[in-house]
Homo-oligomer: A and B are copies of this chain.
Amino acid sequence: MRRFFILAFLFILFFATAHEQKEQFILKPIGMISKVKESTKLILEKEYEPALQGLDKNSHVWVFWWFDRNDSVEKRSILQVHPCGNPENPLTGVFACRSPFRPNLIALSLCRILSVENNVVELEKIDAFDETPILDLKPYIPGYDSADDAVTSKWKR
């Protein structure tokens, strides 16, 4: 009987560990968006300042940020929405629109750079809230990042 319990315990332990090890990736915020009056800034953690070297040679930057207001199991399991929150738009998969509800809450905005100083990037504007966590920055590369003949859905606003 005791042997049975030991075996059962090891069995449960094995499956609990296997479940824990399901593949996942860890993101750490690299800074925060700051919106004060007319000014929009990316304030990076001081440790990431070297990673901005040369960004001032670019006019536009991709800002990757986190839809932090939707970070719950319930919201992350929403797979279809009416785009732009308008019920007149057909029910659409979140991978077929720019919904802020999605399994991985990565947001992407193309922004014009006004200045780069120390750990701060000043932008013309961004469609994100004040104090939103930033994940990554990449320079916008015309050609590589654009498609002249692209077709997409038109939604009612």
Contacts and interface: CB of A to CB of B under 8 A. Distances in A.
A38 interface: no
Interface footprint category on A? 35 or more
Nearest to A27: B25
A80 B50 contact: yes
B57 A152 contact: yes
A25 B102 CA distance: 14
Contacts of A60: 147, 150-152
Interface string A34-62: 00000000000000101111110111111
A86 interface: no
Contacts of A53: 80, 91-93, 96
18 contacts: A24-B26, A25-B66, A28-B103, A28-B104, A30-B104, A50-B79, A51-B80, A51-B96, A57-B96, A57-B151, A60-B147, A64-B106, A95-B137, A96-B139, A103-B136, A106-B106, A110-B145, A145-B146
